[in-house]
Chains A and B, each alone.
Chain A
Amino acid sequence: MPLSVTAPRLVDDPSFPPERGEPQAAIHFDDVYSEYFAFVWRSARRLGVRPSSMDDVVQEIFLVVHRRLADYEHKGSIKTWLFGIVRRIVSQNRRTERRKPSHAGAKEATDLDVFHDPKTMSPHASAEQAEAMRLLDRLLDELDDDKREAFVLSELEEMTIAEISDAIDVNPNTVASRIRAARRAFESALERSEQGEAPAPRSERRRA
């Protein structure tokens, strides 16, 4: 399906994104980028991409989107299609990161460096948010990949089970099951963190 830049822009089309079964219209990369950049960025970050790798990962995701937008078949929402790409690129990135020496990333930017904006947030509020983000990242890191993505989509992106099922291509019962297990694991990890305990060993995390 060739993409035409001269077609009417979907931004003006109130029926975008099209529901299943509706006539298909050309989708513009610009529109996808504008509308879903934040979703892609957040998702990559929450699935475990380090701040220092975010630019490379998100760029790669959108290059894949650019190449494959013509193949998008309108079978699901753009959002769930995008998440399929995000999880694959993030997974590749995490495999690459794991192969790097353990000292790599030692100079990782702190959360404060990354998002503190004195115009919108006081230093105190910024520090609190940074601390909350560090804790959240640590707790998410304790989840295995399947639970993590189910948890992120459900609790942070507030997607429905049907949408998550589409996004990660597993049946809804499995999604529900993963969400419940992820919540239990997350609550346990939070409790351990509040009690000053070390993270659970990896084998225990898988059973959680």
Chain B
Amino acid sequence: MSGLTPRARALLDRAARGHEPTDADRTRIRARVARKVAIGACAAGAASATSKTLSAGTGSLLTKAVVSIALVGTVGVGASHWVTSKPEPQTHAMASAEPRAALERPGKEVRPKDAREVPEVPEVPEVPEVAEIPAPPAPSSSVVVTRKLAPPAPPPPKVPAIEPMAEPPVPAERVDPLAMIDEVDLLARAHEALARGDGPLALMLVEEHGRRFPKSAVAEERAAVRVFGLCASGRAAEAVREGSQFLEKHPRSPLAERVRSSCAAP
């Protein structure tokens, strides 16, 4: 048997196009993946982000970040669930949304051997296959973060039986770790991503920040971080445009000088 009959081939040709994703599918899934990765990045960096930002951050952010230290313990409890249930995600490029040109090697579509022309070889017994992709060992940093974030709780005090029962704790699976991270912390993580040179992640975190805190007290810093994130992502034209908007809107900002000295310099 050398191939499919024409009617079967016609059916495949007619139906196959319907399985193609739409642009909306592509954008929607990208946003979902980005959000999940952002959650993971926030959780993994919960222990270290604040201290690093304190040293690297700006003056106004510095003040606000100090306040956030008190929240780190709370954040850590929620975040530790994510860290322990998911391997530590890498923080590679996620935020740029420009369509890319085809990556395939030119001429790659020329098939050396068409699978439709299956050679008539004897039937061979199928052997059990081992197709599972071996999971890489859990990064040790995840374990460290988990321990830092969620120290063993002391044994609960004895409660007299007549006292009313406390509300049962919400299962950790229902808690969105991002929801427990306040606006300053989230921006601190964007700063940390910038410090690592991970512009796309910084942009993603800033975007999440804008979505969750549209009228944030740190909106000015957020706008500046976005400019720096665009620079770090190689999106200079957008950085210049948004940098100009920033300087126009916040000419006396303590961040104005940094914006002027970045790739966004007009």
Contact = CB atoms under 8 A, between A and B. Distances in A.
Interface of A: 2-6, 10-11, 14-17, 19, 28-31, 33-35, 37-38, 41-42, 45-46, 54-55, 58-59, 62-63, 66-71, 84-85, 87-88, 111, 114-115, 117, 128-130, 132-133, 135-136, 139, 146, 153-156, 158-164, 168-171, 173-174, 176-180, 183-184, 186-187, 190
B130 to A, nearest CB: 7
A183 B7 CA distance: 13
Interface stretch (B131-139, B166-174, B251-259): B131-139
B200 interface: yes
B133 A34 contact: no
Contact of B198 (A5, A84, A177): A5
Contacts of B127: 170-171, 174
9 contacts: A3-B93, A5-B199, A33-B30, A37-B21, A41-B25, A55-B29, A183-B1, A190-B8, A190-B11
A66 B37 contact: yes
B73 interface: no
Interface in B142-163: none
B21 A10 contact: no
B105 A30 contact: no
A53 B24 CA distance: 16
Interface residues of B, number: 67
A136 B9 CA distance: 11
Contact of A168 (B8, B20, B102, B129): B129
Contacts of B100: 11, 30-31, 34-35
B18 A132 contact: yes
Nearest to A150: B115
A161 B118 contact: yes
Contacts of B101: 11
B145 to A, nearest CB: 16
Given A146-B126, A173-B121, A177-B126, A136 B11 contact: yes
Given A68-B136, A170-B127, A133 B115 contact: no
Contacts, number: 203
Contacts of B32: 55, 59
Nearest to B31: A59
A130 B166 CA distance: 55
Given A41-B21, A130-B18, A136-B15, 12 more contacts: A5-B197, A5-B201, A16-B105, A17-B104, A28-B92, A71-B136, A129-B15, A153-B115, A161-B118, A176-B121, A190-B8, A190-B11
Interface of B: 1, 3-5, 7-8, 11-12, 14-22, 25-26, 28-30, 32-33, 36-37, 87, 89-90, 92-94, 96, 99-106, 111-116, 118-119, 121, 123-124, 126-127, 129-133, 136, 197-201, 232-233
A156 B36 CA distance: 31
Given A5-B197, A31-B103, A177 B121 contact: yes
A68 B124 CA distance: 33
B93 A28 contact: yes
A37 B99 CA distance: 12
A3 B92 CA distance: 6
A179 B19 contact: no
Nearest to B109: A158
Given A132-B15, A136-B11, A35 B103 contact: yes
B33 A42 contact: no
A71 B29 CA distance: 23
Most buried by A among B105, B106, B119, B127: B105
Contacts of B136: 67-68, 71
A141 to B, nearest CB: 13
Interface centre among B12, B15, B96, B112 (most CB of A within 10 A): B15
A46 B19 CA distance: 8
A5 B200 contact: yes
A30 B4 contact: no
B90 A69 contact: yes
Given A158-B115, A174-B127, A179-B115, A5 B1 contact: no
Given A55-B29, A88-B132, A162-B113, A156 B16 contact: yes
A135 to B, nearest CB: 6
A161 B113 contact: yes
Nearest to A111: B18
Given A11-B101, A55-B29, A187 B5 contact: yes
